[in-house]
């Protein structure tokens, strides 16, 4: 039923839009299209100048995760996995090109909190750490995708560091 209603609304809007364009001079239409394109390109240029680093790395990371054959992940899960990978890449502990993992004893407590997406200034219990750990491991466990075993070992290390810190 909804499909019929949406189809009728789209067709009616299309009819009125075409009727509107039929009554306008073609010179005004081309001038309007040029202005809209010019403004749109300026907006896109400003957007890439301000947030280009994130806009360009997110699609590339999501595409590379698709290459890892991660199936069944929602878009929000992919974004949280993207944040985890960016945290690890910024600390030098993860690279898509480098197959070896860096020295596992170099992770700081702050990095461990960041990897598990926990706030160290709040009161954190062992249950909170385990919930965050399980939430991430559900997405990247090697049983789900063997390509994510490096990420899984880093998350395991982060959990161990935080649990030692809480003790």
Domain spans in the chain, listed from the N-terminal domain onward: 2-59, 71-166
CATH class given for the domain over 71-166: mainly alpha
Residue 101 in this model has a pLDDT that exceeds 50: no
Q: How many CB atoms lie within 10 A of CB 51?
A: 11
Residue 102 in this model has a pLDDT that exceeds 80: no
| pLDDT tens digits along 62-84 | 666 655 555 555 666 667 777 77
pTM: 0.45
Give the Cα-Cα-Cα angle 60, 66, 68 (nearest 5 degrees).
110
Pull the structure tokens for residue 133. Answer: 């750990």
Mean pLDDT value across residues 120-141? 84
Q: Which of 34-48, 71-85, 103-117, 138-152 has the lowest mean pLDDT?
A: 71-85
DSSP annotation string for 42-104: HHHHHHHHHHHHHHHHHHHHHHHHHHTT--S--HHHHHHHHHHHHHHHHTTS--SS--S---G
| pLDDT tens digits along 22-64 | 888 888 888 988 999 999 999 988 988 887 777 677 666 666 6
Q: How far is CA 9 from CA 4, 17, 58, in A?
A: 9, 12, 35
Which one is predicted more confidently, 93 or 159? Answer: 159
Residue 103 in this model has a pLDDT that exceeds 50: no
């Amino acid at each position: 039923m909804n499909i019929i209603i949406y189809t009728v609304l789209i067709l009616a809007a299309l009819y009125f839009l075409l009727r509107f364009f039929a009554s306008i001079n073609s010179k005004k239409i081309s001038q309007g299209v040029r202005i809209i394109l010019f403004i749109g390109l300026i907006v896109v240029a400003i957007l890439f100048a301000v947030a280009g680093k994130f806009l360009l790395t997110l699609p590339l990371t999501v595409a590379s995760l698709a290459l890892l054959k991660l199936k069944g992940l929602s878009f929000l899960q992919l974004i949280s996995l993207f944040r985890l990978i960016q945290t690890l890449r910024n600390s030098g502990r993860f690279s898509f090109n480098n197959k070896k993992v860096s020295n596992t004893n170099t992770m700081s407590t702050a990095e461990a909190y960041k990897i598990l997406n926990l706030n160290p200034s709040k009161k954190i219990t062992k249950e909170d750490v385990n919930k965050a750990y399980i939430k991430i491991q559900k997405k990247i466990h090697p049983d789900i995708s063997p390509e994510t075993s490096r990420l899984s070992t880093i998350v395991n290390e982060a959990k161990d560091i935080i649990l030692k810190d809480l003790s």
